[in-house]
Structure 1
């Protein structure tokens, strides 16, 4: 991977490289896990996973094809209950949701996060399950959208697919028997509740829950009393009786949190984070499973817990760790310790999109084909063995045969072309559909050629005469140099913002292409005698350098060899060692109003004074011109087919019927 990154011309200080798969890094991952474990925020429970019966491993959802088969072995995937590690994210649902308001907007990610978390208007309560009054050791977390009415709970409802009905739970056999409910008891509600395999929730406060309780012949307690003014207070709720619903909501959830039996505000759809990874090369979880003590954290001084070295890995069958007897059968540490916390090292998050590759899938079977299995000679790709193809763009994956080796693309198009293509194809937060034949690549290639032509144009013009003399320029040519100066400063201002604030590198390239267009249209005398052209070209190359350093270095070397340079910028050295161009102070002191040139069918007809802000809005500029004396005189009775507002200078061109 380092070789590929170096081949792309990416400048990394490899002395500061952090390799997350090495023990000296993941010892801190394990340290953080232990802190969560000690705080009760990391725990184990049974969960349903995708199981490959051939490879005997767990699969992610994207590793299961449309037919329910494993992408690797082809076996029919099974749903299996396995003991998994979880992080208790539901304890922080409300704080996570509220904290989004303090963060900057991340290209729609905040809205996605808020939707993922959901409205945090309820909480979970942990109920200890008993059968016929005897402890079972099982705890069932039940969500309530009205936690203040928990003293009226008549039953706990679980889905038919719940782990208690399918896993190794001690109450499974009891729950499987028809009409033989278990009982749940909560620390601060003295009345037991029943557990039913159903798909509703607690407590009995609405018509739906009431009908279920009646159908099951369950008893319940009324806990709400309505008053004439429309308010409600609690009754039959121990110390909380007499409180309003709002007061009871806060008091009951607070007591649940104090007793560590739930009470953390969250949503009904947010789930705890499953973090287990069933792979040999995954970072080991630093917990020893002791037959006497239960799960025990590995002491900090014994971190990192590293994987054992195994003689061979077949990639098939059960976990290779089964053969590592000494590693699996270790001693119980029975050590506890307390250390300090850590601080978030990041200042800003840049959300990055995916580069998606083209996939070719048989419509009938859903099988993904390799490119060698497809005929590309016709207008549309077809499978060599027949069958209708579905062509889409998806996340690059070995199982979908749509990965891409950067080395091959670099060898074909050059490193800077690949860098510019990736930056220009889309903003960082959006996905890129990698298709170099029909996408942004031709435009990138043309722009590089035009940059080369600009340096050649300046060097050629300076060969035509004596030392450059701006005083020889006529009025029209001076207007042209002013426009170059304005566009240069505008480009510096915009590109600097894109590089340092919003990271819209594709927008930065578009602005540089706009400056390229301005310089390409410059007349020979302006190129020969103006300081503005020379400095604008220098700034253009310097701003291109971070994105295309190899091309910019060659362009800069050629620019510094120009005959009779006027600008002190062309003092030699490498382009990457030059200071970043800055906006001229005079540009920042520009007037609030500009003289907008008005053209009709490409012929200048006069000017209209508008504000700088107004000069950038086509509809507003068109309206102001039509309402002006000039517009009333020349355009009032003419049919306007189109109005074109120049993005580079204060000019509008009306195309009208003759």
Structure 2
């Protein structure tokens, strides 16, 4: 296995970076891990065989709540617990024969990794994208600690103390991801191979039709030192702002803000309430009052909006009812166009021109103006837990938050004598670490060489938030000139879940172990479903036990063959998938044994002894081999349908299995096709293919070119289609409005080029007969079947 991992840099080789989502080191692999890492391993082997220098790293998402909880329950240090789990899981991954670049292994809880997390945070802070404000957290009043959502049960009680959890406002760190919403939305157009995920990302971001502007708060004319960001969908009319609207649930009414007493005094529940708190716009200098809205919710996730009467009837009604004056800033002309008035240098511009000009000025002044949607919120990154990356900020009484100098990073997480999960923040006991004095992340050439990732492999459940934040950080790094690319991943390969059969009692719904179910044939009273494998549902499998029973390659083939990557695998060894891959492996072994027996016991191979019928048979084998190479390569590079690739290899296996004895003995085509079959099987079943290749190499024919090279099967180049094969004719069925009209011959070489095929069909006699002078609406060339469909006006 070590020889597969040796991939020394060679001048001129193209790079291929395949990255799979890092696991949380729980200590045990599950079948979902087997699926995702098998897929990335297949792609890595395939691209190496195509001559690429491949990077396929592994890492561990090692910080977080599960490790801290496990350490608390067991009285252990979370670092030691995590490192022990990583060692165990690495051994399990090795037992699966997976070929990772372990020299690039990263562990997120180690200082040599998280120093760069801190470095990025400092960069974000200096760019004005990291800030603090109060936000609600789950507070355990007994243990005096913050709880994650998953630590609160359905009844709203703490998982440990059982106390009713309170919602408490605490100062939190946020990343201003909304500043990048519009670029992130527009950049989706640059990702044509994010199949099925682009729409999810676009829906998550929403329509970026408005923006936030910064305001500075005053109470009865006195500055409070607070900045409040407020949203409007009409930034061009900003000079016509009459007030800022707040929801009654806004943090200013419930937290530690100096404006809270004045806001509470003005609050009239159920009514729009004018307050003595005002806000000065950082861009226009105008000062407007705060109004506590009678509404319980604004559009999307907004809690602060700018009331602009000229652009909203509702805003106009609120301002008029409260006696708030405003400037009229929109003038409507007879042709229906509107231009700005009373808007300083923007006066005279059309609304469209002013929209761009006002937002640009705000962005230049760093007081807002970044287009975003009302659905998005900034990224809350504070956790109030011990086991996580320390935020590299010094809180100075005189200076406020100060970033730790980059040369002093990392801020290392201190060791604690014990971790109880009670009594407030765990780090408060690390006094030497807590009290401190107020005060180049990577090899640029390597980043330019390997980034962006060519294929990112992981679960579809991470297709929204995880990818959104990854894209945000990549865009930010590009803006900071740390990398040359904006988008981090060229292609996404999102795979479904591995599900197990689940049995539940019809009465109470409790999950039942499979071994406790009576399968004697009597009518079942247990609802049976397929659900994600888990211990609590008694439907999980230990990958090591499965490998011990069936072998590594069988498990790899089963999980690849059972379903296309994007679909769920319903794990059931009694289905056709497992017997199918077992039979296929057996037939491969039999084919190699058949050739070895013919060569060892029979005369030397002599193609001149083949008669016309046998030559035709050999030619068909050659054609099937080239077709398989063409199709399997397409599946590996375009749609990642590994199940279809395996089916195609099974088809070639069946062709070879039916070969006559003389063709097996004497034809170059049979030997080459069998060798190509072994090579293309290698990324999928590397252990079996290695043994088959060793057996083939001992009986190779002098006339065969495929077996002439040295090395193991994974050191062989990926086969290519013979140029002669591409010149052979391909017969396309011509459909017009879904009705067959005959067949057209085109060169196989262009049979998948939709534009070229369309030209050839239109120029053919059949095309001239049926399509001349007809208006063509759409042409569909089937990528996997030999037909072309013209949709035309009747």
Q: What does residue 418 of structure 1 align with?
A: 555
Q: What does residue 175 of structure 1 align with?
A: 263
CA contact (8 A) 1:359 1:400 kept: no
Q: What does residue 162 of structure 1 align with?
A: 250
- Correspondence 1:611 to 2:716: no
CA contact (8 A) 1:368 1:401 kept: no
Partner-residue secondary structure (3-state), 2:278: strand
Distance 1:424 1:380, change over 3 A: farther
- Correspondence 1:353 to 2:448: no
Q: Give the whole-Å Cα distance in 1 for the aligned partners of 2:542 and 2:259.
A: 53
Partner-residue secondary structure (3-state), 2:654: helix
Select which of 467, 474, 482 maps to 1:342. Answer: 482
Distance 1:56 1:363, change over 3 A: farther
Partner-residue secondary structure (3-state), 1:16: strand
Q: Give the whole-Å Cα distance in 1 for the aligned partners of 2:535 and 2:224.
A: 46
Distance 1:428 1:390, change over 3 A: closer
Select which of 212, 218, 228 maps to 1:130. Answer: 218
Select which of 260, 270, 283 maps to 2:366. Answer: 260
Which deviates more from structure 2 when the two are superposed, residues 577-586 or residues 310-319? 310-319
Shift of 1:537: 0.8
Shift of 1:388: 7.3
Select which of 209, 212, 217 maps to 2:315. Answer: 209
Q: Give the whole-Å Cα distance in 2 for the aligned partners of 1:402 and 1:193.
A: 59
Q: Give the whole-Å Cα distance in 2 for the aligned partners of 1:595 and 1:226.
A: 61
Task: Determine which structure has more spread, i.e. the larger CA radius of gyration.
Answer: 1
- Correspondence 1:108 to 2:196: yes
Q: What does residue 125 of structure 2 align with?
A: 37
Q: What does residue 633 of structure 1 align with?
A: none
- Correspondence 1:83 to 2:171: yes
Select which of 641, 666, 669 maps to 1:529. Answer: 666
Q: What does residue 185 of structure 1 align with?
A: 280
- Correspondence 1:581 to 2:676: no
CA contact (8 A) 1:107 1:429 kept: no
Shift of 1:311: 1.9
Q: Give the whole-Å Cα distance in 2 for the aligned partners of 1:349 and 1:104.
A: 8
Q: What does residue 447 of structure 1 align with?
A: 584
CA contact (8 A) 1:355 1:434 kept: no
Partner-residue secondary structure (3-state), 1:277: coil
CA contact (8 A) 1:66 1:366 kept: no
CA contact (8 A) 2:274 2:291 kept: no
- Correspondence 1:289 to 2:395: yes
Q: What does residue 635 of structure 1 align with?
A: none
Q: Give the whole-Å Cα distance in 2 for the aligned partners of 1:513 and 1:40.
A: 58
Q: Give the whole-Å Cα distance in 1 for the aligned partners of 2:543 and 2:657.
A: 33
Question: Under a length normalisation based on structure 1, what TM-score does the superposition of the two structures give?
Answer: 0.80
Distance 1:478 1:405, change over 3 A: same
1:256-655 matches, cutoff 5 A: 256-315=362-421, 318-333=424-439, 341-343=481-483, 348-353=490-495, 355-358=497-500, 375-378=516-519, 391-394=529-532, 405-428=542-565, 432=569, 434=571, 438=575, 440-462=577-599, 465-500=602-637, 502-562=639-699, 567-570=704-707, 573-588=711-726, 590-593=727-730, 610-611=745-746
1:229-268 matches, cutoff 5 A: 229-268=335-374
Distance 1:130 1:608, change over 3 A: closer
Distance 1:374 1:186, change over 3 A: farther
Shift of 1:8: 0.9
Distance 1:501 1:615, change over 3 A: closer
Q: Give the whole-Å Cα distance in 2 for the aligned partners of 1:224 and 1:7.
A: 71
Partner-residue secondary structure (3-state), 2:107: coil
Q: Give the whole-Å Cα distance in 2 for the aligned partners of 1:501 and 1:319.
A: 50
Partner-residue secondary structure (3-state), 1:35: helix
Q: Give the whole-Å Cα distance in 2 for the aligned partners of 1:192 and 1:433.
A: 60
CA contact (8 A) 2:419 2:426 kept: yes
Partner-residue secondary structure (3-state), 1:213: helix
CA contact (8 A) 1:374 1:382 kept: no
Shift of 1:12: 2.7
Q: What does residue 93 of structure 1 align with?
A: 181
Shift of 1:306: 0.8
Q: What does residue 603 of structure 1 align with?
A: none
Q: Give the whole-Å Cα distance in 1 for the aligned partners of 2:596 and 2:176.
A: 66
Shift of 1:343: 1.5
Which deviates more from structure 2 when the two are superposed, residues 485-494 or residues 314-323? 314-323
Shift of 1:287: 0.7
Structure 2: gaps of 5 or more residues: 1-88, 268-272, 299-304, 440-478, 734-741, 767-781, 788-794
Shift of 1:324: 1.3
Which deviates more from structure 2 when the two are superposed, residues 4-13 or residues 65-74? 65-74
- 1:283-324 per-residue CA deviation (whole Å, 9 max, x = no partner) reads 111111122221111112211111111123345564322221
Q: CA RMSD in A?
A: 4.0
Question: Under a length normalisation based on structure 2, what TM-score does the superposition of the two structures give?
Answer: 0.68
Which deviates more from structure 2 when the two are superposed, residues 141-150 or residues 513-522? 513-522
Q: Give the whole-Å Cα distance in 2 for the aligned partners of 1:80 and 1:431.
A: 40
Q: Give the whole-Å Cα distance in 2 for the aligned partners of 1:347 and 1:115.
A: 19
- 1:503-541 per-residue CA deviation (whole Å, 9 max, x = no partner) reads 443333232222223222333333233221111111111
Shift of 1:149: 1.1
Shift of 1:16: 3.2
Shift of 1:124: 0.6
Shift of 1:354: 5.1
CA contact (8 A) 1:90 1:264 kept: yes
Which deviates more from structure 2 when the two are superposed, residues 424-433 or residues 176-185? 424-433
Which deviates more from structure 2 when the two are superposed, residues 339-348 or residues 574-583? 339-348
Q: Give the whole-Å Cα distance in 1 for the aligned partners of 2:321 and 2:418.
A: 60
- 1:348-383 per-residue CA deviation (whole Å, 9 max, x = no partner) reads 3434435444486979999985x7598344489999
Partner-residue secondary structure (3-state), 2:664: helix
Shift of 1:98: 1.6
Which deviates more from structure 2 when the two are superposed, residues 398-407 or residues 235-244? 398-407
